[in-house]
Amino acid sequence: MNHPICIGITGASGAAYAVRLLEVLRAAGRDVHLSISPSGRDVIHQELQIELDLEQFDASHLRLRGESTGAGSLRYFHHQDFMAPMASGSFLTAGMVICPCSGTTLNAVATGAANNLIHRAAEVHLKERRKLILVPREAPLSLAHIDNMRRVTEAGGIILPASPGFYHGASSIGDLVDFVVARICDQLSVEHTLTKRWGTE
């Protein structure tokens, strides 16, 4: 069964990764349940010049390259909606990604502080032993960041820093974004052709 993938967008730099991930998942026919924090909305506006209303959300605004939305559906849930399906362990998912993941969100996940729907859904994925991927972009890292990453990893989460590689012949910012999104998709077992795999023709 094609269970939905949960996506949380928080207030770290790297909004392009999140929007591109949404595009790729939906193009692959994967259903997505999405929540965006207020800081995530602000970063999307600052970095991508996309204005979002979290109270009356319009998914058509979230297009990075003007591509079609694809076959997968997108359901949006307000960041304070604790009645959303992803807030319950009885709701089955194919995993969750917080992309980008702010230091504040990383701390909340590491300490189990469910202050909003994104934090709560992450807590659910850890307790249910489902895949949880955090995509931090902070640099440099403080000891608190490193400690929180260790805690999340020990709890079963995956820390996947937004650190694009250059060995695949990147020639644009889009190529670098696709590199990170490809690594996320690999963790979710979502097929893609975003990058050339090492050792292939």
Q: Domain holding 77: CATH number?
A: 3.40.50.1950
199 belongs to a structural domain = no
Measured between alpha carbons, how far is 14 from 18 in angstroms, rounded to an integer? 7
For residue 196 the two structure tokens come to: 């050339």
Number of folded domains in the chain?
1
What torsion do the CA atoms of 89, 94, 99, 104 make, to the nearest 10 degrees? Answer: 20
Residue 49 located in a structural domain: yes
In a domain, 145, yes or no: yes
Tell me, yes or no, whether 195 lies in a domain.
no
From first to last of its 201 residues, the chain has per-residue pLDDT tens of 689 999 999 999 999 999 999 999 999 999 999 999 999 999 999 999 999 999 988 877 776 555 555 688 999 999 999 999 999 999 999 999 999 999 999 999 999 999 999 999 999 999 999 999 999 999 999 999 999 999 999 999 999 999 998 887 888 999 999 999 999 999 999 999 888 887 776
Choose among 39, 20, 2: nearest CA to 183.
20
Find how far residue 16's CA is from the centre of its chain: 11
Domain that holds residue 101: 5-188
Examine residue 144 and state whether it is found in any structural domain, yes or no.
Answer: yes
Q: For residue 102, is it within any domain?
A: yes
In a domain, 140, yes or no: yes
User: How many other β-carbons are positioned within 10 Å of the β-carbon of residue 166?
Assistant: 9
